[in-house]
Structure 1
């Protein structure tokens, strides 16, 4: 299945019915999700691997990964309502691999052994993290993207993440401090329809950046 076919398949994913502004619950567009998953597939980061979607929301990235032959896919989000919608979306997309949906804190993944534990790190399967973390635009959610990266550095071998425009220096510096390398970076557009009362424009496009990081 090519990238465009995956995009059409993911276009059936239903977004948040009642998004929470404090959690910055903006949907991941199907075209961007398909591109990110396709890139991960080309780099052999999905097939046969464990894939973790941190802050999965309604499941877009997890469901995309589940069509690419992973050993296991886990979607983790603190919002139980979003997880319920993700389960419904799984029925719509019907991926070849079932997704494990878990309600929990994405900054403290409850299912993963830390790479800082030598015994668990040696026995743990290779893990790829896919995520569209909150950008930290809300005062109550500042530095949320850093918290997601900290969790990722502790459990992932490779990660793909979407960040606000202008994040390259921060992400590269963070990865270097944690023993990681940014191997790919590209710009992306996040078209957003009004979801919250403070949004006055009918449609807004947010400039974003996507990074692939190899963690050691």
Structure 2
């Protein structure tokens, strides 16, 4: 197994959005953050020999991280076909050997039907719901994860723990891990005033099987 730092270096070649959409809150996941999330998933045996689904994959950062860590297959789902074209190019850049499927579709209603004997891990960096009219957008992503995954890893705005734990419990899941991450967001929309801004965020592992136990 490569180290978290080595994985981040491998993901450093992943290109971001050519024309990011503010409505879809298309911000790239930094390689270091993707590597941290995937590394934890791998250490928990949630990547190797499993199907990994990246909901709202964008240009493929989390999906490619899972592919590099030996998932049996990876599925990246996104509405933005242009972003998926970039994800395919990124697949060639990283040289992952895992079978990757890039699927155009609504990540909150993923067109997937995993077999009962096929363990599925979801990884995702859903929109935080920061834009007016898009509040609580991450709820729909969590609901989608609960329907297809045994376990999910997701990134949320800082201060989301109470919400995530409550949502998981209401949908038959349990938060088993929580850790802080920092997103360095580069200036890409007209309303951004700074060239780069660090954003405090949190990542969560949720067991959707009903067998999870909280770390508390």
TM-score between both structures, scaled by the size of structure 2: 0.94
| Structure-2 residue corresponding to 1:53 | 54
In the TM superposition, 1:172-183 aligns within 5 A as: 172-183=165-176
Does structure 2 retain, via aligned residues, the 8 Å contact 1:22–1:140? Answer: no
User: How many matched pairs?
Assistant: 208
Give the Cα separation in 2 of the matches to 1:65 and 1:85: 17
DSSP 3-state at the match of 2:69: coil
Give the Cα separation in 2 of the matches to 1:80 and 1:87: 11
DSSP 3-state at the match of 2:203: strand
Residue 176 of structure 2 corresponds to residue 159 of structure 1? no
| Structure-1 residue corresponding to 2:206 | 213
Which of 127, 130, 154 is the aligned partner of 1:134?
A: 127
DSSP 3-state at the match of 1:22: coil
Q: Aligned-pair distance for 1:141? A: 1.7
Q: Aligned-pair distance for 1:3? A: 1.2
Does structure 1 retain, via aligned residues, the 8 Å contact 2:56–2:76? Answer: yes
DSSP 3-state at the match of 2:58: coil
Does structure 2 retain, via aligned residues, the 8 Å contact 1:135–1:163? Answer: yes
CA displacement, residues 113-165 of structure 1 (integer Å, 9 cap, x when unaligned): 5xxxxxx6xx3411000000000111132221000001011111000000001
Give the Cα separation in 2 of the matches to 1:178 and 1:124: 21
Q: Aligned-pair distance for 1:96? A: 2.1
| Gap regions ≥5 residues in structure 2 | 210-216
CA RMSD of aligned residues (A): 1.0
More helix by share: 1
CA displacement, residues 60-114 of structure 1 (integer Å, 9 cap, x when unaligned): 000000011111100000000000000000010011213100100000010225x
| More displaced stretch, 1-10 vs 52-61 | 1-10
| Structure-2 residue corresponding to 1:4 | 5
| More displaced stretch, 167-176 vs 134-143 | 134-143
Deviant stretches of 4+, over 3 Å: none
Does structure 1 retain, via aligned residues, the 8 Å contact 2:52–2:63? Answer: yes
| Structure-2 residue corresponding to 1:116 | none
DSSP 3-state at the match of 1:125: coil
Give the Cα separation in 2 of the matches to 1:18 and 1:107: 22
Give the Cα separation in 1 of the matches to 2:96 and 2:5: 16
Does structure 1 retain, via aligned residues, the 8 Å contact 2:29–2:61? Answer: yes
| Structure-1 residue corresponding to 2:92 | 91
Does structure 1 retain, via aligned residues, the 8 Å contact 2:72–2:99? Answer: no
| Structure-1 residue corresponding to 2:213 | none
TM-score between both structures, scaled by the size of structure 1: 0.94
| Gap regions ≥5 residues in structure 1 | 114-119
| Structure-2 residue corresponding to 1:29 | 30
